[in-house]
């Protein structure tokens, strides 16, 4: 593909303990007999937004869910190859999945707050690590809500049900819930596909601010969104990464014909 990216200074495959650095090497994944991912080798730069695009069923979401091992809960799946997050092989036998999922947060397509209060939703993650004091918890919740620009909208009704919020607010609450764990990587699986344009814009602005602190990987079907929010884009097709490059180049001068076909709307 290209050789002009600064993060490729060291040879691939070597473990580097950079927080938020995600490196996939020769990663294959199967649902039963069906192979969903083929030899995925992808380096995701820390403190940037990487968009995963491609037609439905191409493996984007499977890859995303491999990064926090959420696919573990699906029976009869297997994988080969390696994925490293911050230098650590996340599929190594000694890895604690609980710890991994706190380091790698996730936001889903359909917002899924717990049917509890707004406060409790954000506090769920921190409460998992021992019993934080009331004051600590208050501070963590406020900071997470501020970072998602939700604080001013909900500060007077933290005790109300999270389900009383609008769809866009619920989705931002889910982002706040993930942020309260202080993750180094945030995975988003089509976070805006069920939101209206204004709510979508708010979330995109959020991603722009958050990327100064953590690595963001976003699966999206909306190519304009990929072009707007991401620094790099990877094009998935039939379980393979066809092309991975700086977003501007993917959208203006893709090197592979199939990428161009997809981006110009000839298929997909």
Nearer of residues 161 and 201 to other proteins, judged by Cβ: 161
Residue among 246, 216, 236 nearest 2 (CA): 246
> d(Cα 160, Cα 117) in Å, to the nearest integer?
5
Compare residues 108 and 151 and give the one whose CB is closer to other proteins: 108
CA distances from 180 to 45, 118, 140 (A): 22, 13, 6
Among candidates 121, 115, 101, which has minimal Cα distance to 173?
A: 121
Question: CA 52, CA 30: separation in Å to the nearest integer?
Answer: 19
φ, ψ at 167 (rounded to 5°): -55, -50
Contact call for residue 160 and other proteins (CB under 8 A): no
x-marked contacts with other proteins along 169-188 as a string, rule CB under 8 A = -----x--xx--x-------
Nearer to other proteins among residue 101 and residue 211 (C-beta): 101
Distance of closest approach, residue 237 Cβ to other proteins, in angstroms: 26
Sign of torsion over alpha carbons 170, 176, 178, 184: positive
For other proteins, the binding residue among 46, 86, 125, 239 (CB under 8 A) is: 125
CB of 124 to other proteins, least distance (A): 6
Q: To the nearest whole angstrom, how small is the minimum distance from the Cβ of residue 102 to other proteins?
A: 4
Residue 114 in contact with other proteins, rule: CB under 8 A: yes
Q: Which one of 99, 209, 252, 264 is in contact with other proteins (CB under 8 A)? A: 99
Given the complex with other proteins, which of 43 and 181 has the nearer CB atom?
A: 181
Which residue's CB is nearer to other proteins, number 2 or number 99? 99
Instruction: Give strand ranges (E) for the chain.
Output: 22-31, 34-44, 49-53, 77-85, 88-89, 104-107, 185-189, 215-219, 232-237, 240-246
Q: Which of 11, 75, 130, 265 binds other proteins (CB under 8 A)?
A: 75
Neighbour tally for 99: CB within 10 Å: 12
Residue 254 has phi, psi (to 5 degrees) of -65, 145
Residue placing its CB nearer to other proteins in the complex, 180 or 207: 180
Would you give the DSSP letter of residue 17? -
Q: Does 252 bind other proteins (CB under 8 A)?
A: no
* Candidate segments 23-31, 42-50, 101-109, 191-199, binder of other proteins by CB under 8 A: 101-109
Nearest CA to 60 among 207, 267, 240? 240
Contacts to other proteins by CB under 8 A: 68, 70, 73, 75, 97-102, 105-106, 108, 110, 112-115, 124-125, 128, 161, 163, 174, 177-178, 181
């Amino acid at each position: 593909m290209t050789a002009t990216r600064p993060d490729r200074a060291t040879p691939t495959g070597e473990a580097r303990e950079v927080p938020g650095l995600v490196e996939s090497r020769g990663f294959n994944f199967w649902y039963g007999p069906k192979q969903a991912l083929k030899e995925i080798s992808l380096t995701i730069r820390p403190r940037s937004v990487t968009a995963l695009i491609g037609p439905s069923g191409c493996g984007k979401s499977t890859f995303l869910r491999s990064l926090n091992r959420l696919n573990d809960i699906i029976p009869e799946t297997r994988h080969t190859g390696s994925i490293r997050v911050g230098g650590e092989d996340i599929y190594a036998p000694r890895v604690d999945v609980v710890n991994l999922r706190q380091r790698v947060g996730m936001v889903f397509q359909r917002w899924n707050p717990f049917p509890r209060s707004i406060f409790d939703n954000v506090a769920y993650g921190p409460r998992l690590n021992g019993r934080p004091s009331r004051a600590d918890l208050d501070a963590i919740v406020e900071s997470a809500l501020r970072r998602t620009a939700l604080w001013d909208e909900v500060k007077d009704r933290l005790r109300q049900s999270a389900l009383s919020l609008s769809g866009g607010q619920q989705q931002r609450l889910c982002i706040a819930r993930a942020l309260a764990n202080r993750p180094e990587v945030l995975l988003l699986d089509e976070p805006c596909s069920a939101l209206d344009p204004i709510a979508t814009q708010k979330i995109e602005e959020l991603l722009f601010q958050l990327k100064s602190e953590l690595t963001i990987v976003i699966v999206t079907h909306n190519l304009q969104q990929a072009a707007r929010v991401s620094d790099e884009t990877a094009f998935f097709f039939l379980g393979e990464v066809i092309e991975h490059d700086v977003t501007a180049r993917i959208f203006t001068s893709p090197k592979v014909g199939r990428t161009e076909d997809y981006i110009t709307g000839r298929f997909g």
